[in-house]
Structure 1
Amino acid sequence: MSGLNRLGVVLSDRGSKYAVTGARVITRSDVDAVLAELKSDKTYAKATHNTWAATLPAGALKADDGESGAAMVILRMMERAGLTDHVIIVTRWYGGKKLGGDRFRRVQDATRAYLDQLETDH
């Protein structure tokens, strides 16, 4: 397992801020370690949501962390991109205004920023 690839805050919408982080993982314990490392940063620990999805050799895992349906958005994008052995975490700090369906677009935007960064790095 490699270290975190933290892009930081990639966008904001009506006060909510979104960040994206990812890492190479192959087991659930790797995913848990990445989440623990991310949340060791107080800024991320205090976030409203740390929604994530992982594609592991044993299958896909995901957790909405209170952002209902958002993990499936991340997982679908990872599967479409053919990204395996990886976890992507989209962090949201709630800004006080509900975004409705736009929240899914922001999760997509953050995930796309991460996938684009991976392509640039390779």
Structure 2
Amino acid sequence: MFDFSFGEIGLIAVVALLVLGPERLPRVARTAGALARRARNSWQSVRDEIERELQAEDLKRSIDEAKQAAAGLQNDIRNASAEVHSSIEKTTADVEAATTPPAAPVPPPNPAQDAVGHEQH
């Protein structure tokens, strides 16, 4: 978090010794250490919370992408199913047309026969 060299830390220690004196310096050092530890823990806690939020956002984004992909696949399956259904209907109609014999031609009416189909004498 802070970048102090050994020389800078030594200089701060000498100034603190001169300002505070040898009696109060250990107590102030403990207090400063405790405050630094508390600040570092708080910073780490905030950092962890931000990372969790980012991971949750990534997970939500992944779920949304998966839902969109699933919807696209569902549409593709519906289209393919409709094409297969149409192809089956066409094939069925072609098979029925090929297997149904053509209707026998109806002979023209013979005027020599009456309406019942008997010959007249």
Q: TM-score, normalised by structure 1?
A: 0.22
Q: Which has the higher helix share?
A: 2
TM-score (norm 2): 0.22
Of structures 1 and 2, the larger Rg is shown by 2
Instruction: Point out the structure with the larger strand share.
Output: 1
